[in-house]
Structure 1
Amino acid sequence: MHIRLATVSDAEAITRVHYNAAHGLRPANFYTEDILNSWAPSPSAEHRINRFRSIIESDKEVVVVAELDNKLIIGFGAIIISDHEIRALYIDPMYEHQGVGSKILQHLEELALAQGVNILKLEASLNAETFYIRHGYRVTQYDYHPLSSGGQMKCVKMSKQTTQTLENNE
Structure 2
Amino acid sequence: MQIRRATAKDAEDIRRILWDTYETTWKPELTATAIARFESSGNTARYVDTRLRAMRVAESYGTIVGFVDWERDFIDALHVSPLHQHQGVGSHLLAFAETWIAAAGHTGVQLETDTFNRQARGFYQRHGYQETGYCPDEEWHSGFTTVKMAKTF
Give the TM-score category using the shorter length. Answer: 0.7 to 0.9
Partner AA of 2:94 in structure 1? L
Partner AA of 1:88 in structure 2? A
**Residues 35, 153 of structure 1: 8 Å contact kept:** no
Number of residue pairs aligned between Structure 1 and Structure 2: 150
Q: Which residue of 2 aligns with 1:166?
A: none
Alignment of structure 1 residues 93-112 onto 2, 5 Å:
93-112=82-101
CA offsets per residue over residues 145-167 of structure 1, 9 Å max, x none?
A: 322x6666422100001x2xxxx
Partner AA of 1:54 in structure 2? T
| TM-score of the aligned structures, taking structure 2 as reference length | 0.83
CA offsets per residue over residues 97-125 of structure 1, 9 Å max, x none?
A: 00000000000000101101111111113
Q: Percent identity?
A: 31
Worse-matched range after superposition: 102-111 or 120-129: 120-129
Residue 91 of structure 1: which of 69, 74, 80 is its match?
80
How far, CA to CA, are the matches of 2:130 and 2:44 in structure 1?
A: 31
Residue 151 of structure 2: which of 142, 160, 170 is its match?
160
The offset of 1:32, in angstroms, is: 2.2
User: Structure 1 residues 111, 123: CA separation in 2 closer, same or farther (over 3 Å shift)?
Assistant: same
Question: What is the CA RMSD across the aligned residues, in angstroms?
Answer: 2.7
**Residues 74, 109 of structure 2: 8 Å contact kept:** yes
**Residues 20, 93 of structure 1: 8 Å contact kept:** yes
Worse-matched range after superposition: 18-27 or 94-103: 18-27
2:128 match: secondary structure: coil
Q: Which residue of 2 aligns with 1:168?
A: none
The offset of 1:63, in angstroms, is: 1.1
How far, CA to CA, are the matches of 1:157 and 1:39 in structure 2?
A: 25
How far, CA to CA, are the matches of 2:9 and 2:69 in structure 1?
A: 16
> Structure 1 unaligned runs (5+)?
164-170
CA offsets per residue over residues 13-72 of structure 1, 9 Å max, x none?
A: 111101111221279x6x225487379648xx8663243122124xxxx31111111x31
> Structure 2 unaligned runs (5+)?
none
2:87 match: secondary structure: coil
**Residues 129, 150 of structure 2: 8 Å contact kept:** yes
Q: Which residue of 1 aligns with 2:19?
A: 19
**Residues 3, 104 of structure 1: 8 Å contact kept:** yes
